[in-house]
Structure 1
Amino acid sequence: MEDPYVWLAGYWLLTRELLLLAAAGVLVSSLDDLLFDLVYFSRRIWRRLTVYRGRRRTDARSLPGGGSASAPIAVFVPAWDEADVIGPMLTAFTRRMLFPHYRVFVGVYPNDAATLRVVAALSDPRIAVVIVERDGPTTKAHCLNAIWRAMCRHEDAYGVRFKAIVLHDAEDVVHPRELGVIDYLIPAKAMVQLPVVPFAAPNSRWIAGHYLDEFAESHTKDMVVREAIGAAIPAAGVACGFERAMMGWIADDLGGAPFDPLSLTEDYELGHRIHARGGKAIFVRMPGRAGAAHVTTQEHFPETLEAAVRQKSRWLLGIALHGWDRIGWQGGLAARYMLMRDRKALLNAIVVILAYVAAIAYAAAILFRATMPDARLLPAVVEPGSALDLLLRLTTALLVWRLAMRILFTGRQHGIAEALRALPRAFVGNIINFLAALRACTLYVRGAIRKTAPVWEKTAHRFPESVARD
């Protein structure tokens, strides 16, 4: 009788401590998210009552500009092992783009003959092939720097000056009015970020599908709040435009090129560099025309668990770990708060799994108490009215709110069917984020010990056939 009682008492104590630790972590993270929600909805209500009262909202089709006097825009497309998608992407881009003054610079490696052959075969005067000086893969930032130098040589050779630089990946489906929006906002803004919207993948509703939920919330709410409080807006690496002069100043700061070749998240860091230099950034959700969909970039995201974990571990490694080393805690209060929020993703992934473990342990304790006589002699793991009970009730309410927000934003972007899937996908996303956090930490420690330089760890891409045939 004594041994089971002692064992159960120890289990009760461990479960209680797990619940307390998990609830405390969830509470801090949830209050942070709740603050973002309140700022977003307050701003939205205020703008509806003031800015948009009696004033028609702007759409991309009604923007001035794009005439013969407009300066050209440079589009950078780094490509490593992209032979399957780069051809359809560039063909769709040049066929659909409504802004006429642009030149696409495609960075290709000398040991990637397949990609080079596809790009060269397009024979489009608006597309320039840039041969990177080293065999690939290096880093995406290194490839972008090679493209930058090629653009500068083009400016010198033809006596032109590009107005802006736009970044895209080899699998992007770009909105026809994107360059027009960027042309209109630059140089009043040093950086323009447009929304990124993942495609729904019918054969990967849960793995690829969880990106729908995350981007729907991030590129509808979080980016807007960052701008509203005056913090840096991190570039997403695609659908982002930069003022040419600002990029030149940053290139001078870094010794001749604007992207740090040792960075795994060069786009994220670039947004912070622009903010540190006093450049104004804006996140823009603008309809293509009145009543139509917003000007966005769409692409397919990883559809397998392994690929999703690899991609997200790179993001966590670059932002939460290397970013801490490289950027530190620069800037004012808002900037530091955003850095903390970005880096909490690593810890949050672990806290959520801890909460799952604590919930399972608590459920088991309830079952033991209902079925084991010795367990009935012990007090409840969570006594009604106790501080832990109140904490768990609060965190439960906050989690319900968090899931409601996920459903709301997913539904607004993708419809009711995806909104309903967002609820179970939250669990899938948490598992992916946890595995990615473990992998990111492993890679960080391994890299620190071996002192190895980062390389371009990309995933296989695909371009939608419907767009390619259009």
Structure 2
Amino acid sequence: MFSGFGLDPILHVLVLVERELLVFAAFWFVIGLIDEFAIDMTWVWLRLTGRARTGRLPAGFGRAELAGPAAILIPAFQEAAVIATTIAHMTATWSQREVRFYIGCYGNDAATLAAAMDGCGGDQRVRLVVHGAYGPTTKADCLNRLYAALCQDEARSGQMFRGVILHDAEDMVHPAALQAIDAALGSHDFVQLPVRPALQPSSQWIAGHYADEFTEAHAKALVVRSAMGAAIPAAGVGCGFARAALARLAEQRAQSGAFGPFATDCLTEDYELGLLLSRDGRGSTFLRLRDAAGTLVATSSYFPSALGAAVRQKTRWVHGIAFQAWDRMGWNGRPIELWMALRDRRGPLTALVLFAAYLLLVIDVALILAQQFGVVEGQPLSGAVHAMLTLSLIGFLWRATVRAVFTAREYGLSESIRAVLRIPVGNVIAIMAGRRALAAYLRSLAGQSVIWDKTAHHAHPAAGLQPLAPQPVRKRVKA
């Protein structure tokens, strides 16, 4: 079989490794294809039956007063570059009188506190809350501090908030989002709006791949999840919660000596919170709407534009969703919930399969060169392996087409072409994040504390826009 150069043992090992990797990668690619194809076909069925259509709002929607007071919670640490723009844009966009904006800062972060004060512009609806601990603690801990301030305001005023909405320090909101969430909270305990990453010309590949992933997830996967009655995870931004539901969770956590509804020992407290409220009380809904001009009612922001920052962010997501959620929430025996949990927690397996596939490509190149020089003979594939490879190729072409279609619908044709070319970028980030998440999880098992490994933000999508004038608000007319 082998000849010359004394490479027989090495080539023999490469052939064995190549075959094992081939079977491993092809098998899991087929499993993944079946999973994604099931989601795709369910979305098509929902679309044909009218259950997956995006609602269209009338002109002027979003300017009416709310059904009750709403609190916006925004945790901020080392966000001096963006927090002023966020506050100024948000307060101008949402002019309703019964809105209160709670901005969580830290005493050891004077730059963010000063920028937040500058962004307020004298708006009496903004509350700057300084955390008593030095930051960063965790995002959930900062949210619980804001929740405490909210409770104190309720005690002073004698009036409870109707809804609580979460946003990040770098978010740009849609004018209709607040009223849409407020209306949906009339019948649900948790409401999630889509996330629409803003494109960055300076980072079309790394930051751009977020646009592809979120567009497909929030135009298809979460639509299917909501329509099938499965629990919906909260994205941490553009999500609203009924005040009574948060109080119920806070009471449950108080029984174990904790304060507030947000789990401080969880890296993805928003994800967990959404699932908990989806399963109890009045449940949840994913709200996909467009305004009168056709713009998606969503939260926009700039996502990481550098490889290291993207890997760190996705490491936190994989660690919190795949590893911590498994430990903290276990598995639900309901078939649809089990399916969705498997999808949510597949990050480490996906990273391993992708790594095996790329390693396989390198080995195959080496073996092909060896065949060209007559050093090694090609080995025939079994019928089963050949079938799996064929399905894997078909599946990749299908997945690339679906991603291109969804991206084109939201960002245009040129971005849809880039979406296909960005698939390897997303794969490399997933591999690196999966490895780091496993290492971080093992360290946590050894007793290391969970920290807020937050993403740094240097630009805001609203920074280059014409400053908004406060929108006139109409009083809500009771029927």
Q: Same fold (TM over 0.5)?
A: yes
The answer to whether the Cα contact below 8 Å between 2:56 and 2:294 also exists between their aligned partners in 1 is: no
The question of 1:260 aligning with 2:256 is answered no
The answer to whether the Cα contact below 8 Å between 2:62 and 2:176 also exists between their aligned partners in 1 is: no
Q: In structure 2, how many angstroms separate the alpha carbons of the residues matched to 1:241 and 1:206?
A: 31
Equivalences for 1:249-328 in 2 at 5 Å? Answer: 249-255=248-254, 256-289=259-292, 291-328=293-330
Shift of 1:58: 3.9
Equivalences for 1:118-129 in 2 at 5 Å? Answer: 118-121=115-118, 122=120, 123-129=122-128
SS of residue in 2 equivalent to 1:47? coil
> Counterpart in 2 of 1:458?
454
Instruction: Flag the 1:281–1:62 CA change in 2: closer, same or farther, 3 A.
Output: farther
Shift of 1:361: 2.2
The percent of aligned pairs where both chains have the same amino acid is: 38
Moved more, 91-100 or 451-460: 91-100
Q: In structure 2, how many angstroms separate the alpha carbons of the residues matched to 1:134 and 1:258?
A: 19
Letter in structure 2 aligned against 1:338: M
Instruction: Flag the 1:382–1:424 CA change in 2: closer, same or farther, 3 A.
Output: farther
Q: In structure 2, how many angstroms separate the alpha carbons of the residues matched to 1:419 and 1:467?
A: 25
Q: In structure 1, how many angstroms separate the alpha carbons of the residues matched to 2:55 and 2:135?
A: 46
Instruction: Flag the 1:401–1:361 CA change in 2: closer, same or farther, 3 A.
Output: same
> Counterpart in 2 of 1:66?
64
Shift of 1:230: 1.6
> Counterpart in 1 of 2:465?
467
TM-score (norm 1): 0.92
The answer to whether the Cα contact below 8 Å between 1:71 and 1:163 also exists between their aligned partners in 2 is: yes
The question of 1:103 aligning with 2:105 is answered no
The answer to whether the Cα contact below 8 Å between 1:72 and 1:161 also exists between their aligned partners in 2 is: yes
SS of residue in 2 equivalent to 1:94? helix
The one of 116, 140, 156 equivalent to 2:113 is 116
CA RMSD of the aligned region, Å? Answer: 2.1
Equivalences for 1:135-174 in 2 at 5 Å? Answer: 135-174=134-173
SS of residue in 2 equivalent to 1:173? coil
SS of residue in 2 equivalent to 1:80? coil
Higher helix share: 1
The one of 47, 52, 69 equivalent to 2:50 is 47
Equivalences for 1:15-414 in 2 at 5 Å? Answer: 15-47=18-50, 57-59=55-57, 61=59, 66-67=64-65, 70-121=67-118, 122=120, 123-255=122-254, 256-289=259-292, 291-330=293-332, 332-372=334-374, 374-375=375-376, 378=377, 380-383=378-381, 386-414=383-411
The answer to whether the Cα contact below 8 Å between 1:88 and 1:468 also exists between their aligned partners in 2 is: no
Q: In structure 1, how many angstroms separate the alpha carbons of the residues matched to 2:243 and 2:7?
A: 72
Shift of 1:6: 5.9
Q: In structure 2, how many angstroms separate the alpha carbons of the residues matched to 1:84 and 1:64?
A: 28
Letter in structure 1 aligned against 2:349: L
Instruction: Flag the 1:279–1:304 CA change in 2: closer, same or farther, 3 A.
Output: same
Shift of 1:65: 8.9
Moved over 4 A (4+): 2-7, 60-65
Moved more, 413-422 or 322-331: 322-331
Q: In structure 2, how many angstroms separate the alpha carbons of the residues matched to 1:99 and 1:45?
A: 38
SS of residue in 1 equivalent to 2:132? coil
Q: In structure 1, how many angstroms separate the alpha carbons of the residues matched to 2:456 and 2:248?
A: 34
Shift of 1:181: 0.2
Q: In structure 2, how many angstroms separate the alpha carbons of the residues matched to 1:307 and 1:388?
A: 38
Letter in structure 1 aligned against 2:33: S
Q: In structure 2, how many angstroms separate the alpha carbons of the residues matched to 1:95 and 1:107?
A: 19
Q: In structure 1, how many angstroms separate the alpha carbons of the residues matched to 2:395 and 2:147?
A: 46
SS of residue in 2 equivalent to 1:203? helix
Instruction: Flag the 1:392–1:129 CA change in 2: closer, same or farther, 3 A.
Output: same
Q: In structure 1, how many angstroms separate the alpha carbons of the residues matched to 2:83 and 2:415?
A: 29
> Counterpart in 1 of 2:420?
423
Letter in structure 1 aligned against 2:243: R
Instruction: Flag the 1:414–1:83 CA change in 2: closer, same or farther, 3 A.
Output: same
Shift of 1:381: 2.8
Instruction: Flag the 1:323–1:468 CA change in 2: closer, same or farther, 3 A.
Output: farther
SS of residue in 1 equivalent to 2:160? coil
Q: In structure 1, how many angstroms separate the alpha carbons of the residues matched to 2:62 and 2:216?
A: 30
Shift of 1:362: 2.6
Shift of 1:448: 1.8
SS of residue in 1 equivalent to 2:464? helix
Q: In structure 1, how many angstroms separate the alpha carbons of the residues matched to 2:49 and 2:86?
A: 40
Q: Deviation digits for residues 408-454 of structure 1, max 9, x if unmatched?
A: 111111111111111121001100111111111111112222x1221
Q: In structure 1, how many angstroms separate the alpha carbons of the residues matched to 2:233 and 2:152?
A: 28
Q: In structure 2, how many angstroms separate the alpha carbons of the residues matched to 1:62 and 1:124?
A: 23
Moved more, 110-119 or 358-367: 358-367
Instruction: Flag the 1:287–1:79 CA change in 2: closer, same or farther, 3 A.
Output: same
The answer to whether the Cα contact below 8 Å between 2:176 and 2:291 also exists between their aligned partners in 1 is: yes
Q: Deviation digits for residues 369-393 of structure 1, max 9, x if unmatched?
A: 2331x42xx4x3343x722111111
Shift of 1:62: 6.6
Equivalences, count? 457
Q: In structure 2, how many angstroms separate the alpha carbons of the residues matched to 1:170 and 1:9?
A: 55
Letter in structure 1 aligned against 2:231: A
